[in-house]
Amino acid sequence: MADVCLPHGFRRPVRKKPGQEKAGQAAFGSSLFHIHVISPSPFPMQKNSPFTLHRNSSCCAARRGEVRTEHGSFQTPMFMPVGTLGTVKAVTPENLIEMDAQIILGNTYHLYIRPGHELIRSLGGLHRFMHWDRPILTDSGGFQIFSLKELARITEQGATFRSHLDGSSLFLGPEEAIAVQEALGSDIMMCLDTCIPYPATRDEAIKATDLTTRWARRCREAQSGTSQLLFGIVQGGMYGDLRRDHAHALVDIGFDGYALGGLSVGEDKALMQEMTEAVIPELPPEYPRYLMGVGTPEDLVEGVHRGVDMFDCVMPTRNARNGTLFTSTGKITIKNARYREDKAPLDAECTCYTCRNYSRAYLRHLYQCREILSYHLNTIHNLHYYLNLMAGIRAAIERDQFTAFRNDFYGKLAGE
C-alpha cells in the first residue's frame, strides 16, 4: 500500500459565504443552519497544551509525541486498554504494567450506575479504587446511551434513560457527566456527546451535531477547576463538511484535546478513513487527537498514518474471551482443530507471558474447556500484541521509517 505525503499541522481556514457574517451561522452545502457555539466564545484556546510533539513523519501525517497528565505522561501514538467497570477484563493492573500499558479507559455511564461515583470518590477515587497509579481516561457515556437508545430519551437538557440493570430512571446531562468524571478523578474527561447512527440523513446529522456542540460548551462551563483534562468530541455523521465545521466549533470553545467520535458504527473502512482525513487537518497540531472506539490492528496503523495519537477499543479483550487471537501474521481462531497438537506459541515473534510459556495446543484445550485461565492468558497476549504494535510504530516514527514499518506490517499479514 503506497504512502501519501501529507502536510503537517495544516488547518484550513473557515470560509464564510456572503451574508454569513452573523455569529451563530455556519454553511453546509448550499444551505445555512444555526450552530449556537459559532459565536465568539468566552473560552480562549487553552494556553498550555498537555501535548508535546517529538517527531513528525516526513512522508505522512504520522507523528510521535507525549501527553502529560496528573498521574504521569504517556507516549503517543498509544492504544488504551478498556477497563469499563474499573477493571480491564481478565487481567490485573500488574499484568498491564508488565506489558507497558501507559493509560487505560474507564466508563462514566457504567461506573455512574454501579457502584456509583460518590462511593468511588469516598474510597479515594478511581485510581485508588482499582489499584492503578497511571493515567485514566473516562468516556462520558454518550456512546453507551447511543447503544442503549431503546432505553433512552435525548433532549436539550441531556439523556433520560432506564438502567440496563434494574430499569430505574436515570438522567445524565453535560453537567452531570462532568460531575461524575470529577468524582471519579480521571486524568482525561470527555464531553458528553450525541453519537449519530449510521446511516443518518444530513438533517439528522446536523441536528445531533448542533446539540453536541451546545453540550460541549456546557461541559466546559461545568468544570470546577480541577487539574483534569477535558477533550471535545467531533461529530458530524458521515458528512465530511459537517465534521470539519464541527471541529472548528470545538476549537473555538477550546479543549485540552480533540476526539473523533461516531465512527466504527457500521460504516465501511474506507468511509471511516475518509472522515478521519476530513477532520485531522482541521484540528490544531499542538493538541492530542483521539480516534474513539477503533479498532483492528489495521485500523490503528491507518489511523496513525492519518495523524491520530490515541486509540481505544474492546476488540483485543473481547476477542480474547471469544478465542480470536492477534498475531504478527494475522488472526488465529484457537478452537480450530488444526491447533489440537500444535506445540508452537501463538506468535513466534511475541515475547508476552503467554507466548513464552504456553503452546497453541494448551491454549486450545483451555478454551474448549472454557477454563477461566483461557480468558486470562488470551487477554494477556492480545493486549501485549496491541501495545507492542504501538511501541513499534512509535520507534518507526522516531527513525522516520513509518512507511517501511507500514509496508512490512501488511507484508506479514499477506504472507499468512
Q: Hunting for cell 496491541 — which residue is that?
A: 386
Provide the β-strand partners of residue 80: 312
- Per-residue confidence at 37, pLDDT binned at 50, 70, 90? very low
Euclidean distance between CA atoms 247 and 26, whole angstroms:
12
The one catalytic residue in 210, 312, 347, 408 is: 312
Euclidean distance between CA atoms 297 and 316, whole angstroms:
9
For the chain, give the percent of residues with pLDDT over 90. Answer: 83
- Per-residue confidence at 149, pLDDT binned at 50, 70, 90? confident
- Tell me the pairing of strands 159-162 and 257-260: unpaired
How confident is the model at residue 47, as a pLDDT?
Answer: 58
pTM of the complete model beyond 0.75: yes
Question: Based on the domain organization, do 78 and 220 belong to the same domain?
Answer: yes
What pLDDT, in 10s, does the model give residues 285-344? 999 999 999 999 999 999 999 999 999 999 999 999 999 999 999 999 999 999 999 999
Whether the pLDDT of residue 385 is over 90: the answer is yes
The burial class, CB within 10 Å (0-12 / 13-18 / 19+), for 115 is middle
Q: What is the mean pLDDT of residues 93-112?
A: 97
Provide the β-strand partners of residue 39: none
Question: Based on the domain organization, do 198 and 95 belong to the same domain?
Answer: yes
Contacting residues for 59 by C-beta, under 8 A, at least 6 apart: 3, 5, 402, 403
Residue 9 located in a structural domain: no
Residues spanned by the domain of 209: 33-313
Q: What is the mean pLDDT of residues 371-387?
A: 98
Q: Which residue has the higher pLDDT, 112 or 43?
A: 112
Q: What are the angstrom distances between the C-alpha of 148 and each of 22, 152, 192, 194?
A: 38, 7, 15, 12
Contacting residues for 194 by C-beta, under 8 A, at least 6 apart: 142, 146, 154, 208, 209, 211, 212, 215, 235
Residue 171 located in a structural domain: yes
Q: What is the mean pLDDT of residues 154-166?
A: 92
Question: Based on the domain organization, do 235 and 383 belong to the same domain?
Answer: no
End-to-end CA distance of the chain: 17
CATH of the domain at 186: 3.20.20.105
Question: Based on the domain organization, do 195 and 132 belong to the same domain?
Answer: yes
- 184-208 burial, b if ≥16 CB within 10 A, otherwise e? bbbbbbbbbbbbbebebebeebbeb
Euclidean distance between CA atoms 365 and 11, whole angstroms:
53
Question: Based on the domain organization, do 189 and 328 belong to the same domain?
Answer: no
Q: Count how many domains the chain has.
A: 2
Question: Based on the domain organization, do 328 and 290 belong to the same domain?
Answer: no
Question: Based on the domain organization, do 401 and 272 belong to the same domain?
Answer: no
What pLDDT, in 10s, does the model give residues 184-205? 999 999 999 999 999 999 999 9
Whether the pLDDT of residue 22 is over 60: the answer is no
For this structure, is 139 an active site residue?
Answer: yes
Whether the pLDDT of residue 43 is over 50: the answer is no
Residue 158 located in a structural domain: yes
Output the furthest CA–CA distance in the chain (Å, rounded): 73
What pLDDT, in 10s, does the model give residues 2-14? 344 433 333 333 3
Q: CA neighbours within 13 Å on the CB side: how many for 349?
A: 11
Last residue of some domain: 313, 342, 369? 313
Report phi then psi at 155, rounded to 5. Answer: -130, 180
Residue 25 located in a structural domain: no
Q: Which of 297, 289, 237 is nearest to 262 (CA)?
A: 237
Euclidean distance between CA atoms 367 and 361, whole angstroms:
10
Residues shown for the chain: 416
Report phi then psi at 318, rounded to 5. Answer: -65, -45
Euclidean distance between CA atoms 30 and 48, whole angstroms:
38
Q: Which of 269, 286, 317, 310 is nearest to 89 (CA)?
A: 317
Whether the pLDDT of residue 146 is over 90: the answer is no
Last residue of some domain: 313, 344, 378? 313
Question: Based on the domain organization, do 49 and 87 belong to the same domain?
Answer: yes
What pLDDT, in 10s, does the model give residues 330-359? 999 999 999 999 999 999 999 999 999 999
Question: Based on the domain organization, do 407 and 304 belong to the same domain?
Answer: no
Residue 11 located in a structural domain: no
Q: Which of 311, 292, 234, 405 is nearest to 77 (CA)?
A: 311
Residue 4 located in a structural domain: no
Question: Based on the domain organization, do 66 and 84 belong to the same domain?
Answer: yes
Question: Based on the domain organization, do 215 and 105 belong to the same domain?
Answer: yes
The alpha carbon dihedral of 1, 280, 68, 318 has a sign of negative
- Cell matching residue 150: 431503546
Whether the pLDDT of residue 36 is over 50: the answer is no
SS3 107: strand
- Per-residue confidence at 141, pLDDT binned at 50, 70, 90? confident
Residue spans of beta strands (DSSP E) within 226-345: 229-234, 257-260, 289-291, 310-312, 324-327, 330-333
Contacting residues for 313 by C-beta, under 8 A, at least 6 apart: 79, 82, 264, 293, 294, 295, 299
Residue 18 located in a structural domain: no
How confident is the model at residue 46, as a pLDDT?
Answer: 52
Last residue of some domain: 262, 295, 313? 313
The one catalytic residue in 139, 210, 245, 309 is: 139
Question: Based on the domain organization, do 267 and 364 belong to the same domain?
Answer: no
For this structure, is 312 an active site residue?
Answer: yes
